[in-house]
Structure 1
Amino acid sequence: MASITLPVLALPHPLILLPTARITLPVHRATGEALLSLVQDSEAQPVIAAVPLSSPDASLYAWGTSARIVRLIRPPARNQKQPYLLSLQGVSRVRIIGHADSQPFQQDGVLARRVEFPDAEGGVPSMESIVKFKAAALKLLALLGKDTTQQSKRDTYRKIADMLEDTADEKLAWMADVLVATVNGEYTDKLDFLSATNADDRLQRATAIFVKQASITEVSKKIAQSVDDSLSKQQKEFFLRQQLSAIQRELANLTRNGVVSPSASAASDVSNHSGQGSELDNEEQAEVEDMADVKAKIEAMAKDSEERKMGVREWRRLKRIPQGSVEHGLEWLTAIPWPASQGNTASISVDTLRDPAFLANARGQLDSDHYGLEKIKKRLIEYLAVVRLKALQADREQALAASQHKDAQSPHADLNLSINTLLPHQNARPSSSSKSQTSTVKGPILLFIGPPGTGKTSLGQSIARSLNRPFQRISLGGVRDEAEIRGHRRTYVGSGPGLIVQALRKAGRPDPVILLDEIDKVGQSNLHGDPAAALLEVLDPEQNHSFNDHYVNVPIDLSQVLFICTSNSLDTIAAPLLDRCEIVQLSGYTYDEKVHIARRFLLPKQITANGLAPEQIELSEDALLTIATMYTREAGVRSLERAIGAVVRYKAVDWAEHIDSSLTSISTDKSKQVALHSSSEHALKEYRRIVETSELEKILGIARWDADERERDERRGVVYGLVVTGMGEGGILPIETLLIPSGTGKLLLTGSLGEVIKESGELALSWVKTHAYELGITQHRSVDPLKVPGEPRDIHLHLPSGAVKKDGPSAGIAMTCAFVSLLTGACVPSDVAMTGEITLRGRVGPVGGIKEKVLGAHRAHIKKLVLPYANRKDVEQDVPPEVRAAMQFVFVRTMEETLEAAFGKGVLGWRRDSMPVLESRL
């Protein structure tokens, strides 16, 4: 055999190039560039060796085909991912010398290899081989011509048949190459045909291919005919099922008759299916590719895992049911990021946790995303620190397990163990028998409680960015069906997986940060189940490693997911669900914080959203503070952002009109451009970029709140209490009392009061009646201050804004002080406010919402606050230092201390001598 050195190109499986055939295939850019240089350096068409693969594992076959490079299409330079397109024309057979050591062309570029050309490429075959070859070829061509519906293919098969009859016997070996390259056949048969160098041997192998292909064509035509005969208009949707049944019956008959073995028939069916892939339209080809991707995902799953077993079962069922069946859930099964099936993506977050600067980066991320909320940030840093320590602990355990496993096989196990435990844990590989290393990397489930607009959702996004994990938000507001969490069973039409599985698919990783938003608005138990109860398994670390979605029907590991919940209140959250969460309270922003947030975040965002530049608009500090205090009253900043957006849009209109008027004036008379240029400069000076407080009323209208709460006067029977509105905003509320003559000693309560606050009023009046003699209201202990002989009276207590419902156990001491002021005539100063509840013994109990109430009092210019002593820690921890420095706080335990703090020392004439010295005790 003659030998020569040629570049070797490995053809992708199952592509094969025979002599006389022509193929076009995509090649990698590196290979294309190497081929391009080869073409440019050659004067004629360069010749390379196109070698097929003996199996999908990329091992080169011993035989190939020398081929000329007919065309090489270079992709556009802007598209770096598009491959080259290469067209090859087969010439003759070649044998690769040392093919076992050869490397594919695509990996190492132009790799020159020695190849041999066979000596007996031609020759005259025997008459028996010629007769069998022509008979089998003509029969196959006739069957293919009848089976196809395209006229062009019929004409092609007819021309080949005419050419075959006119071909001389010594050239039939060349005709065999043409026919085998044209018809479909099994890949292994074509490889065997490629290695046939003798003409007679080549005809015999080609005849075997034609006989097998003709048999397959006849069976397929018979199956299609039997299906067409039994098909009616009402049965068209069962076409695929009937065709599959017919194929199975025909294969069973062939197997019983011994015509073909089961493995051979199956391989022939697969080969036929793959051979017809070139004739599929774009939609069918896309469907085939999608199913190939699904199969590849199943093969990528961990061996012996439950999801892989389910995937194999679903894949087998998929072959027997239509593609659009409601029972087809294989796509969702393969779309879930199973932890055991992940590559390096599952370790991304763990690598982030290993970074020594992790906590510093997380702290910087929180500071850049949020202003204020120092207590919340401190808790989140603790949360992230726990997650990091658990990740490092898991690494150390795996490093120890790996070293013990390795050293157990060493003769010096004890010495190696002491050395390996000192090695860095990053270099240790996890043990195959251990659990997933990220299964223990889990902190507590945080529950952010706070009013709307306080940044609960954005805090979850900041945590995800700090951990370098994908973020998914699940809105639970209005969820009334348990199947929204657990998924629907496949027996229902239109069924699908639950929200948890959908979030995992969108995240693409088994360890995302999932935010369960508005968990307090989940529907209660009904005929569709209890969604809150379904969340118990999701949020329980002891159960969520095997979460069961009804649609997927395979246990899903949620132990690597970080769940964060948000809620506006705790009242409607189920107690078992609340027990699984750690509450983090977001009470709202101070006005100073709101101004900084508006300056740092909200204003730049609105400027960009409305098409302006930062140098074209500016809001003064007083204007921002006025918007926050007089136009918006909320704990968050959403209304503040909307108000700032209205101001920016107003200035955007001014700027647009200013530009339009300038351009119109210039285009009106070009001869006066100099004068108009000066007037345009004057017009630019008239545009005011700074928005002052005096312009807000023209832009935003009349303020929704005015300064009435700051204009207070000292009046008998009027005391100012502290309240928290439904929007999470604190403020002061006057408690007004009035004596009604000619009464019967009753207490009249108005102001849309709830049951609890009514009870506080009755309790306060009872305490005042009991201590009326000590306070100097009556002259005898047995006299009722409202039923003085000859002067019976009623007391009317009213809380303004009667349209707003009021309730809660926090107005007891304020009502008591109002009754004392009304009956004694002493007045509480107008710059004093109070909150707290009392008991019948006169003890002052703690209340909630201290931060909001203090901030509301500070806004109203209250100078002195009377608070329960038990709330002292809340003031010191939650109230900003600048607010504490501007106000006086008096913490009281008893009602006597409260009256002295409210009215002043010595204002009320207590009858100390008549007060009991001893207090009875049980």
Structure 2
Amino acid sequence: MSKQTYLPPALALLPLPKPHVLYPYLQVSITLTTDVVSHLLATLSEQTETHKAETRDRYVAAVPVTEGDRRIGRWACAARVKRIFRGKDDSSDEWTCVLEGLTRIHLPRALPPTLSILPPLPIPVVPYALPVPPPTLHSVDLMPVAAKLLPPELHPKLGALPPGVQADLLASTLRFEWDFRVDLLATPNIDERCGRVRAQMVQIMFDKGMTLPDEPRKPQSPQSMALVPRRQAGAAGPAGQAAIGPPKPQLPDDLKPLDALFQKRREELSPAATEALERELTRLAKIPSQAAEYGVSKTYCEWLLSLPWKRVSQGKRVDLDTARKTLDDEHEGLQDVKRRVVEYLAVYRLKRDLWEDKHVKEVEAEKKEAAVKAEVDAANAAEAPKEEQETAESEQEAESKNAVIPAMLDDSPPNDVFRDKAPILLLVGPPGVGKTSIARSIAQALGRKFHRISLGGVRDEAEIRGHRRTYVGALPGLFVQALRRVGVSNPVMLLDELDKVGTSNYHGDPSAALLETLDPAQNWAFHDHYLGDVPVDLSQVTFIATANSLDTIAAPLLDRCEVIECSGYVTDEKLAIARRFLLPKQTVENGLGDGGVSADDEVLTRVVTDYTREAGVRSLERELAKLCRAKAVEFSASRDGGSPYNPEVSVDDLETILGMAKYEAEVREQTVRPGVVTGLAYKGSGNGGILLLESALVPGKGGLRLTGSLGDVIKESAELAFAYVRAHMHILGISQELLAANDIHLHFPAGAVKKDGPSAGVAILLAFISLLTGRPVDPTIAFTGEITLRGAVTAVGGIREKCLGAHRAGIQRVIMPAANEKDAHDLPASTRSMTIEYARTVETVLDLVWGRAVWADGRMRDAARL
């Protein structure tokens, strides 16, 4: 009995039917009926309440009885009730009770001579008797005789046990007669007990015709008779009954395939996963299969075994020329994106080559050092005395143990695999421009598996980090599920729609959960709630993210990414994409085969300009699909005996198939009138165009009226421009009486379309000045930029889209802030026919529009004097 085990002052007496006999430090399983189990549990509950036990363990006195007269012996075994469970059939009246022996006890004489183990007789409570005195030195050695009767694999385990436990274990293992085992229970003296067991084993050998061992007896010291640790005693337990501490439990049939897979993949698992699996499988063997936690624990083990802990795809050496050619073949335009992707691949190849060279040198150095150390140790061992060798070995063992401590405390990833700590590429652009296909091309160039994770609409942190196993239907997070699906630990993983992931709410913060995932310094030990204390290595995964906008991405998350702008396609690029990719693809998908539909550039250009208006090419592909379906109908009719099939699509067929043109080409204003100015606007989804501003004087008191479905920002721009005009009336040549007697009405056409954004200040200011001075603005000039009260022109966004829209509308000159000059260098060659001019102040804008001699007319000099 362990020193920490304290039995209550009274024990419930539980009969053990023949042939069961329980000894200390062993276990036994007996079958009870439902009524007996109910009465036993009630008795144990009363025992706990009466004696105020501080532990949840329940204790009984297990006494062997006969089947006939059920006579009770005077010796029993104090036992702990470990488990009481029903069999697989819930309707069965049989229960299994598992008892663990603690110590021999002597029963008092006041007990009745007989006891029925059947209801309704009660199970009496008996007073606890003091344990037997500690054993004394003995001279009976059981091992020489036991070695003849037991399998060889049990010899070292049995030899590690104290002599008294050896005697009890041998009596149970060798199946001695029940009467002999009952008498052995009533023999507290170890010498006498060991002698009786040895005599019984000698008799068995004599009956089998075996020779007795002639080995000398080996007296043991009192220290060897002390109780060994529970894990050593449990290791020696045979089938049927086991030594103190349960042996390694036998797995049920449904768990054996799982255990076989665990043994097969043991070398591939991480140390944490191996430890968790061993713990869970041992626990599973003790849980009834009907228990709810049985299925949860089994599913957990299946998840651990299905993850690719050390399994990687070897990939291939990156060929930059091949990668560049693949990008050019599969993607039209996007030159900046292609250049950055090639740079990424080049850096990846160089870093991997450096790591491989360094790793090979480290491995060779370790092998050489180990060989030299082995030679030195062998030479020292041959020369040094035995005592010095033992001292050196103990010192080396202590040093090795001490050396483990810093490694355990070191919070850095192991250097056994290549980890690419490159920044996360974030492809930002409107829908349909090829962000996902760019990521696929990177995976193809690296020779790695590709997996896409859609983050759009993710509002629960548990979808990223997984659910805890306490919840019903718990599953790991998206990243662990992705690793299981691809089967390798180094795929290329696309995080799609990063800007649409949810923010902080009562379900947690998914954006914050992504921070650890995308941080190369942390994701080598990513913790999923479902896997518990088993970390997952995500540092070998190449993450690529996509988004349509940066506005809704959390700042800490955006800080971990390198933003790459994927702008919309111009008309020429869309035409090339339709000719090279979309039309052949839709021809095959609609059952017409290669060359089943043909269209010249004029037809495709009309489809691009008159029926689509987007940054990407998805709408364009849908329109081309309509053409192909119409041709599919004609082709089917021709096969049924109709007119011959003509694969050519003409311009005249477009209105018949696609209907009237959906969009009219934006055309600049043709007439010249004061108060009307052409502005530039970004219209969303990668589109830009011109925006007409109209102003008029109406009788009033010098106020400002705004119409055209304007947002707050653009209203503030109008008020700012009006304030600038009133503050600089003398310099601008505006009559104060004219402004005091009239109101200015500013209108933006297409009133049903919402208009907002900080980029119309310059155009609004020019419209006011043109209206009040009577000087018209050339309609071939378009403006973009914001102003301040002191007359500075500040930068705006969407320059590429605005310039493309201006070019489509026939604008010849574009005036924009000087701070946006860097954005205009990457415009397509088709826009080079426009003249782009830059301004830092309002005065520069006025000079570019009318010339200083016209608009200032000497007033700037007069203002300077004032």
The alpha-carbon deviation at position 493 of structure 1 amounts to 0.7
CA deviations over 1:676-700 (Å, ceiling 9, x no partner): xxxxxxx32xx43221223211111
Q: Residue 731 of structure 1 is aligned with which of 689, 705, 723?
A: 689
Contact 1:395 1:437 in 2 (8 A): no
In structure 2, distance between residues paired with 1:237 and 1:701? 74
The equivalent residue for 1:613 is 593
Q: Residue 801 of structure 2 is aligned with which of 852, 858, 874?
A: 852
In structure 2, distance between residues paired with 1:480 and 1:256? 64
The equivalent residue for 1:533 is 512
Q: Residue 331 of structure 1 is aligned with which of 277, 302, 309?
A: 302
Contact 2:30 2:98 in 1 (8 A): no
The alpha-carbon deviation at position 505 of structure 1 amounts to 0.6
In structure 2, distance between residues paired with 1:873 and 1:801? 32
- What is the number of equivalent residue pairs in this alignment? 621
Q: Describe how 1:272-291 pairs up with structure 2 within 5 A.
A: 290-291=257-258
The equivalent residue for 2:404 is none
Answering whether residue 862 of structure 2 is matched by residue 892 of structure 1, we say no
Structure 2 counterpart of 1:306, which letter? A
CA deviations over 1:16-52 (Å, ceiling 9, x no partner): xxxxxxxxxxxxxxxxxxxxxxxxxxxxxxxxxxxxx
The equivalent residue for 1:880 is 828
**Quick one: structure 1 residues 448 and 237, their matched pair in 2 at CA, closer, same or farther if it must change by over 3 Å?**
farther
The equivalent residue for 1:561 is 541
Q: Residue 488 of structure 1 is aligned with which of 464, 467, 480?
A: 467
**Quick one: structure 1 residues 440 and 813, their matched pair in 2 at CA, closer, same or farther if it must change by over 3 Å?**
same
The equivalent residue for 1:916 is 863
Contact 2:609 2:665 in 1 (8 A): no
CA deviations over 1:194-249 (Å, ceiling 9, x no partner): xxxxxxxxxxxxxxxxxxxxxxxxxxxx9899899999xxx989559999995966
The equivalent residue for 1:786 is 739
Q: Describe how 1:28-47 pairs up with structure 2 within 5 A.
A: none
Contact 1:390 1:442 in 2 (8 A): no
Q: Describe how 1:133-144 pairs up with structure 2 within 5 A.
A: none
RMSD: 3.5
Q: Which has the higher helix share?
A: 1
Q: Residue 712 of structure 1 is aligned with which of 645, 653, 670?
A: 670
The alpha-carbon deviation at position 719 of structure 1 amounts to 0.8
Structure 2 counterpart of 1:661, which letter? G
Q: Residue 339 of structure 2 is aligned with which of 362, 378, 391?
A: 378
Identical aligned residues as a percent = 48
**Quick one: structure 1 residues 335 and 297, their matched pair in 2 at CA, closer, same or farther if it must change by over 3 Å?**
farther
Q: TM-score, normalised by structure 2?
A: 0.66
> Mean Cα displacement is larger for which, 594-603 or 287-296?
287-296
The alpha-carbon deviation at position 764 of structure 1 amounts to 1.3
**Quick one: structure 1 residues 243 and 389, their matched pair in 2 at CA, closer, same or farther if it must change by over 3 Å?**
farther
Contact 1:745 1:786 in 2 (8 A): yes
Q: Residue 812 of structure 1 is aligned with which of 761, 766, 778?
A: 761
In structure 2, distance between residues paired with 1:241 and 1:526? 47
Structure 2 counterpart of 1:588, which letter? G
The equivalent residue for 2:603 is 623
Q: Describe how 1:331-730 pairs up with structure 2 within 5 A.
A: 331-339=302-310, 342=311, 346=312, 348-349=314-315, 352=316, 355=317, 358-408=319-369, 435-553=414-532, 554-662=534-642, 683-684=643-644, 687-707=645-665, 709-710=667-668, 712-730=670-688
The alpha-carbon deviation at position 318 of structure 1 amounts to 2.4
Structure 2 counterpart of 1:892, which letter? A
Structure 2 counterpart of 1:882, which letter? S
The alpha-carbon deviation at position 608 of structure 1 amounts to 0.9
In structure 2, distance between residues paired with 1:898 and 1:243? 97
Answering whether residue 715 of structure 2 is matched by residue 758 of structure 1, we say yes
Contact 1:376 1:586 in 2 (8 A): yes
In structure 2, distance between residues paired with 1:608 and 1:798? 50
The alpha-carbon deviation at position 866 of structure 1 amounts to 0.9
Contact 1:730 1:856 in 2 (8 A): yes
Structure 2 counterpart of 1:315, which letter? L
The alpha-carbon deviation at position 785 of structure 1 amounts to 4.3
Contact 2:610 2:664 in 1 (8 A): yes
3-state DSSP of counterpart to 2:729: coil
Structure 2 counterpart of 1:726, which letter? G
Structure 2 counterpart of 1:366, which letter? L
Contact 1:476 1:517 in 2 (8 A): yes
Structure 1 counterpart of 2:681, which letter? V
Answering whether residue 284 of structure 2 is matched by residue 318 of structure 1, we say yes
In structure 1, distance between residues paired with 2:512 and 2:413? 31
In structure 2, distance between residues paired with 1:526 and 1:627? 45
Structure 2 counterpart of 1:607, which letter? T
CA deviations over 1:837-870 (Å, ceiling 9, x no partner): 1112222111111111111111112111111111
**Quick one: structure 1 residues 692 and 404, their matched pair in 2 at CA, closer, same or farther if it must change by over 3 Å?**
same
Q: Residue 770 of structure 2 is aligned with which of 810, 821, 828?
A: 821
In structure 2, distance between residues paired with 1:805 and 1:763? 20
Contact 2:86 2:94 in 1 (8 A): no
CA deviations over 1:342-376 (Å, ceiling 9, x no partner): 3xxx2603xx2xx3x62222212222221110001
Contact 2:495 2:546 in 1 (8 A): yes
In structure 2, distance between residues paired with 1:755 and 1:830? 27
The alpha-carbon deviation at position 387 of structure 1 amounts to 1.6
3-state DSSP of counterpart to 2:595: helix
The equivalent residue for 1:16 is none
Contact 1:241 1:320 in 2 (8 A): no
The alpha-carbon deviation at position 579 of structure 1 amounts to 1.1
**Quick one: structure 1 residues 534 and 434, their matched pair in 2 at CA, closer, same or farther if it must change by over 3 Å?**
closer
In structure 1, distance between residues paired with 2:652 and 2:852? 44
3-state DSSP of counterpart to 1:757: helix
In structure 2, distance between residues paired with 1:907 and 1:725? 34
Contact 1:327 1:491 in 2 (8 A): no
**Quick one: structure 1 residues 225 and 592, their matched pair in 2 at CA, closer, same or farther if it must change by over 3 Å?**
farther
In structure 2, distance between residues paired with 1:784 and 1:395? 82
Contact 2:425 2:562 in 1 (8 A): yes
**Quick one: structure 1 residues 690 and 246, their matched pair in 2 at CA, closer, same or farther if it must change by over 3 Å?**
same
Structure 1 counterpart of 2:830, which letter? E
Q: Describe how 1:304-315 pairs up with structure 2 within 5 A.
A: 305-315=271-281
Contact 2:31 2:97 in 1 (8 A): no
Structure 2 counterpart of 1:700, which letter? L
Structure 2 counterpart of 1:900, which letter? D
Structure 1 counterpart of 2:494, which letter? L
CA deviations over 1:746-785 (Å, ceiling 9, x no partner): 111111111111111111122222333233322xxxx364
Contact 2:711 2:755 in 1 (8 A): yes
In structure 1, distance between residues paired with 2:759 and 2:822? 17
In structure 1, distance between residues paired with 2:790 and 2:513? 47
In structure 2, distance between residues paired with 1:905 and 1:656? 70
CA deviations over 1:309-330 (Å, ceiling 9, x no partner): 1111122122233386223301
> Mean Cα displacement is larger for which, 903-912 or 688-697?
903-912
**Quick one: structure 1 residues 434 and 541, their matched pair in 2 at CA, closer, same or farther if it must change by over 3 Å?**
closer
Q: TM-score, normalised by structure 1?
A: 0.63
In structure 1, distance between residues paired with 2:739 and 2:706? 16
3-state DSSP of counterpart to 1:886: coil
In structure 2, distance between residues paired with 1:524 and 1:319? 43
Q: Describe how 1:38-57 pairs up with structure 2 within 5 A.
A: none
The equivalent residue for 1:195 is none
Answering whether residue 819 of structure 2 is matched by residue 870 of structure 1, we say yes
The alpha-carbon deviation at position 335 of structure 1 amounts to 1.0
Answering whether residue 229 of structure 2 is matched by residue 262 of structure 1, we say no
Contact 2:733 2:859 in 1 (8 A): no
